[in-house]
Structure 1
Amino acid sequence: MPLITSAGVGSGLDLESIIKASVDAENVPKMQRFAAKQESLKVELSSVGEVKSAISKLKDTIEKLADIDNFGKRIANIRQPDGAEIISVTPTSDISTGNFKIAVEQLAQGSRAVSADGAFASADAVVSASGGTLSFSAGADKSFDLEVTAGMTLAELRDAINASDTNFGITANIINTGDPDVGSKLVFTSNVSGDGNDLVITSDTAELDAIETYDATTNPSGGMVIADADKAQDAIITVDGLTVNSDTNTFKDAVQDMTIRALEVSPEDTSGTKLTAKLDVDYDRESVTKLVDELITNYNNLVGMIGLQTRVGKPLNGDASMRALSDQLVSTLGSTLTDAGPFESVFDMGLGVNKEGYLEKSSLVRSLNEAMDDNYDDIGTAFAGENGVAKKLEELLGNYVDSDGLMKQRETSLNAQLDDLEDDVINHQERMKSFEASLRQKYAGLDVLIAQMQQTQSYLGAQLSNLPGFTKSK
C-alpha cells in the first residue's frame, strides 16, 4: 500500500478538515480550560504577592519600633559663638538630657623641633661622615630607630625618616632660609600630643649631636631646640566652668556618655573672657515621630491592600485568612500594655483607628507630642518593651510572611499548581499528538480503499464502453 502523507490525496475527500475538526473538538475546550485555570492562578498569586509585600513593608517598620535602641537616641543641638565653630559632640543613648556651656581654652598639639642656626649649610650638607643611629621617642610608648648611613645628606635623612615603616608620627621637613649664617633648617613635627610628650631625639655618635633635641635654655652642642611655644600640650576645655584636660582634642566622657571634640580655641569677648558654646542634649523626638509616621503609612497601606484584594470579583474575596489578618491587626494594635506608665494601649499616646479601620494620629486623649513631653521613656516601653505592641505585631506579621508563614505557604502552593498545570498541558499535547496520529492512520486506510475503488470503477467503465452496443449515459 503506498504511503499517503496528506489525507484525502488518494480519494479526493477533504480528510484533513475532518481530522482537524476531530482534533479541535477534543483539544480546544481542554486548552481553554487550562488557560482559564492558569490565568486564575496567576491573578491569585499576584494578589497574594501584593498583600505579602504590604505585610513585609509593615513588618520592617515594626522591627524598628520593636528595637528599644531606636527610642534611646539623643540629639545634641549646639549654638556656637558668633563666627566660630569651637566644638563638635557625639552623644550616646545613655546620656542624660541637659544643658551645658563649653569653652575651648587650648587645643592639643604635638611638639616641634628646629635645628640650630648654621648647623647645615644646605639640603646637600652631609649629616654624618661615618654613620650612626638616631633614636626618636615621644611619650611613654612611641619610639623608633633610624640607621644613618655614611655620607648621608640632610635631604636623604629627611626622606629616610618620612619613609620609615616604624615611624610613629614624625614628619621631617627642610626650610632653606637663603641666609648663609642660618643655612638650611631641619624641622621635625610630632603628632603625639599631650603635656610631657615632647619629641626626644638621641644618637650613638657625636657626629649626630646637631640632630639631638635639647631644652631651649640648655643647648651645649648646637642641637635641635623645642621652643616653649612648640612643646607638646594638652587640650583644655571648660564645661560649666569646670576645667577638663585631654592629651588629644577629643574628650570622651568629659560629660558622661558623650564625646566632645575641640575644634578651635574660643574667641574672647571685649573683657577677655572666652566665649562658650551652648549645648542642649535632648531626646531624638524627630526620629521617633518619623517611625510613628512610617507605622501609620505602612499600616494603612496594608489595610487598604487587604480591602482592595478582597473586593467582589477579586481572587481573595471572602478569603478567611484575610479576614483573620484584618481582625488580628486591630486587636493586636489595641492590646493592653504593662509597665508603660499611663499608657494602657497605644491609643493613649495620640493614635487612633477611624471607622474605615485606618490608623491615624488623634488628640482625643492626648497628642503624640504631649505624650513625648510627659512620658517619653514610656513610649519606648509601649512599643519595644517585653510586652510592647511592636513585639506582638512583629510576631503576628511573622506568622504570615516568614519562611514558614501563611502567605509564603500560599505562594508555594499556587506556584506548585502552576507547575502541575504546565505538566498537564504538556501531557495533554502529547495525547493530542497520539490522537491525531491514530486518526491519520485510520483515514489513511480509508483513503487508500476509496482510491482503489475509484480505480476499479474507472477500469470497469472503460471496459464496458468498449462492448458492442454500449451507450454512455448523458
Structure 2
Amino acid sequence: MAGITMAGSGSGLDLETIISTFVTAEKTPKESRLNKKETNLTTELSGVGTLKAGLADFKAITGKLGNLDSFYQSKTNISYQGRDVEQTTAGGVGDSAALPITIQTKGVVPKGAFDVEVMQLAQGARLESDFLPDRETKPGQGMLYFDAGKDTFQVDVNVTDTLQQIQKKINDAPDNYGISANVISSDLGAKMVYTSDKSGKANDLTVFTSDSSLNIVSSGMKGQSATDAIITVDGNTITKDTNIFNHAVSGVTITANSLTKLNEPANFSTSTDHAAVQDLIYGFVDGYNTLMGSINELTHPETGILKFDSSARSIKQQLQSITGGVVDDANKRLNTLYGAGISLEEGGMLAVNPFGMGGSKSGDQRLNEAVNNSLDDLGKLFAGNNGIAAQVNRVLANNLGNKGMISQQENMLSENLRDIGDDRAKLDRHIASFEDTLRKKYTALDNTVTRYNATGDYIRNVLG
C-alpha cells in the first residue's frame, strides 16, 4: 500500500508523517547494514581480483622460467649474398625462411661459424599419365598399387569409375601414406597426376596395376623421381632423405629451403645469448617484486583491502619460503637465489645488488658468473624438476585453479553478494508489510477520531 497519501484526511491528523517516520526508522538501519556489507564484499572481491591478476601475470613469467630451453638461448646470424638475418632462439626458428637455410638451436650451442651449400633439395616423386579424352573417361578396372619405400596401399577401380572418381578413391584411401592424385584438363585432353609427400631417393614412387586396362594411369608414367637433400658444411657433404639436417652441427638443426648458387655458400654463426638469459632473470625479479608490492598493499594492516584475509598472507609466506630456500636437486655451488646474485631485501623484495659487502662479490658479479660459466646449473636452479619456477608454479596453480584458494574465495564472495540481493528483496517485503500494518492501524484511528469529531459537532449544534 506504499504511496497512498489518504491517512488523516478524515480526522485532520498528520498521519502520513507519522507513518513515514515509523517506516524510515524501521528501514534505515537495516538498509545501512546491507549497504555497508555490500560495500565491504565488493571491495574485498575487487582486492581478490587484483591479487588473482597479479598471480596470473607472475605465472606467465615463471612459466617461461620453468622451461629449461629458456636458459639455452642462442644468437644466430645467417648471411647470404649480402643479406644478413640475426635471430635469437630458445629452441625456436627465427625469421630466415627466405634464405637458402634456416637455423634452429637447442641446448648450449658452442660459438662457431660455418659455410653451407645447398646442392640439392629433397622432394617426393611426381608422375603424369598420357592424355586421355577428358576427366569423365573410364579407363578400365582392377587394382592400383602405390609403393614408396616401405609404404604401400592399393585402390580398387571399377569399370564405371571416371578419372575424377579414381582420383577421389586414391585421395580418400584410409591407408594412403601421402599420395595426392589430381586430374589436369587441357586442350589436349586430361591426364592423371600423382604427387608423393615422401621425399628421398629410397622413397621413389612406383605405381602398377593388376589389369592392363589401367596401364595408362599407372605403368610407364612420366615425371620426376624422389630425391635426397644434399648439403655441404665447410666442404663436408651430407645427404638426407628430408631437407632437415639434425646432426650436421652439434646443437644445430639446418633446414634447407632453396639451392645456393655455385660457389656462393650461405654462412651462419652461432653463440650463446647470455644477455637474453640475464633479461629472463631480471624479468623474474621484477615480476616477483611487482607481485609482492601488490600483496603488501592489499594486506596493509591499516589501509589494505585484504588486511583480514589469510589467503594473501599465506601466498606471500609460501613464496618467501621458496625464494629464501635451498633447491635440493641443484648443484651445491648454485642451489640458492643468493648464489645466482639475487638477494632477499626488506619487505620480501628481491634485488640484484650492484655493490658487494665487506669485500664479497656483488649480486651483479655473481649473476654474470652464473650466466657466463654455469648455465646448466643456473637452469637447474630455476627450471629443474624441483627448481624455483616449479615450486612457485605449484603454489600459483593451487591458488589459481578451479578448486584453488583464490577461486573458492571469489565464489564465496560472489555468493554472499547474491545473498545481499535476496536480503534486499526480503527487506522490501518486510517494509511493505510493516507500512501496510501501520496504515491499517492509523486508518482505524482516523475513522474513530472522525466519528468523535462528528459527534462533537452534532452536540455543539444541538446545544448551540
Q: TM-score, normalised by structure 2?
A: 0.72
Please give the alpha-carbon distance, in whole angstroms, between the structure 2 residues aligned to 1:46 and 1:97: 50
Against the structure 1 CA distance between its residues 104 and 463, is the aligned structure 2 distance closer, same or farther, given a 3 Å change threshold? Answer: same
Identity %: 30
Q: Following TM superposition, by how much is the alpha carbon of 1:436 offset from its aligned partner in structure 2, in angstroms?
A: 2.4
How many residue pairs end up in the alignment? 426
Gaps of 5+ in 1: 177-182, 215-223, 466-474
Task: Find the aligned partners of 2:138 and 2:22 in 1 and give their Cα distance.
Answer: 111
Determine which of 335, 343, 347 is the counterpart of 2:334.
343
**Is 1:377 equivalent to 2:376 in the alignment?**
yes
Query: Which of 1 and 2 has greater Rg?
Result: 1
Which stretch of structure 1 is more off in the superposition, 359-368 or 399-408? 399-408
1:260 and 2:254 correspond:
yes
Which position in structure 1 is the counterpart of 2:121?
A: 107
- Deviates most, 358-367 or 452-461: 358-367
Give 1:238-257 correspondences, 5 Å limit.
Answer: 238-255=232-249
Aligned equivalents of 1:210, 1:313: Cα separation in 2? 87
Name the structure 1 match of 2:39: 39
CA distance in 1, matches of 2:287, 2:349: 10
Distance between the aligned counterparts of 1:303 and 1:109, measured in 2?
Answer: 56
Counterpart for residue 56 of structure 1: 56
What SS does the corresponding residue of 1:346 show, helix, strand or coil? coil
Q: For residues 453 and 198 of structure 1, do their structure 2 counterparts lie closer, same or farther at Cα, with a shift above 3 Å needed?
A: closer
**2: CA distance between counterparts of 1:396 and 1:407?**
11
Alpha-carbon spacing, 1:162–1:283, altered in 2? closer, same or farther (3 Å): farther
Corresponding position of 1:468: none
Deviations 1:209-229 (A, max 9, x none): 898877xxxxxxxxx777xxx
1:136-175 alignment to 2 at 5 Å?
A: 139-140=148-149, 141=151, 165=170, 168-169=179-180
Question: What is the Cα deviation at residue 206 of structure 1?
Answer: 8.6
Match of 2:228 in 1: 234
Counterpart check, 1:306 vs 2:295: yes
The offset of 1:275, in angstroms, is 2.3
Report the CA distance shift for 1:160/1:245 in structure 2 as closer, same or farther (over 3 A): farther
Structure 1 residues 47 and 172, CA, compared in 2 at 3 Å: closer, same or farther?
A: closer
Preserved CA contact (<8 Å) 1:335 1:389: no
Contact 2:400–2:406, Cα closer than 8 Å, also in 1: yes
1:79 and 1:409 map into 2 onto residues whose CA distance is 52
What's the offset of the Cα at 1:71?
Answer: 3.6
Give me the whole-angstrom Cα distance separating, in 2, the residues matched to 1:205 and 1:302. 75
Q: Is 1:9 equivalent to 2:9 in the alignment?
A: yes
Q: Is the 8 A contact 1:253 1:259 kept in 2?
A: yes
- AA aligned opposite 2:28: V
CA 1:418–1:336: 2 relative to 1, 3 Å = same
The residue type equivalent to 1:16 in the other structure is E
Which of 241-250 and 70-79 deviates more? Answer: 70-79
> Shift of the alpha carbon at 1:13?
1.2
Q: Distance in 2 between matches of 1:329 and 1:28?
A: 46
Structure 2 matches for 1:74-93, cutoff 5 A? 75=74, 77-82=76-81, 85-92=99-106
| SS class of match (1:9) | coil
Mapping of residues 451-466 of structure 1, within 5 Å: 451-465=450-464
Q: Could you tell me how far apart the structure 2 residues matched to 1:395 and 1:129 are?
A: 65
Structure 1's 292 and 15: CA in aligned 2 closer, same or farther, altered over 3 A?
same
Which residue does 1:219 correspond to in 2?
none
For the residue of structure 2 that corresponds to 1:58, the secondary structure is helix
Residues 413 and 242 of structure 1: CA distance in aligned 2, closer, same or farther (over 3 Å):
same
Pick from 261, 275, 294: which aligns with 2:265? 275
Please tell me whether the aligned partners of residues 76 and 90 of structure 1 are also in contact (alpha carbons under 8 angstroms): no
Q: CA deviation at 1:186?
A: 7.7
C-alpha distance in structure 1 between counterparts of 2:450 and 2:139, whole Å: 122
Of 253-262 and 301-310, more deviation after overlay is shown by 253-262
- Once the two structures are TM-superposed, the CA of residue 361 in structure 1 deviates from its matched residue by 3.6
Q: Please, which of 191, 200, 208 is the counterpart of residue 194 of structure 1? A: 200
Deviation at 1:34, TM superposition (A): 2.7
Match of 1:28 in 2: 28
Which deviates the most, 450-459 or 317-326?
Answer: 317-326
Q: 2:138 and 2:323 mapped to 1: Cα distance?
A: 85
Structure 1 residue 453 displacement after superposition: 1.4
Q: Give TM-score scaled by structure 1 length.
A: 0.70
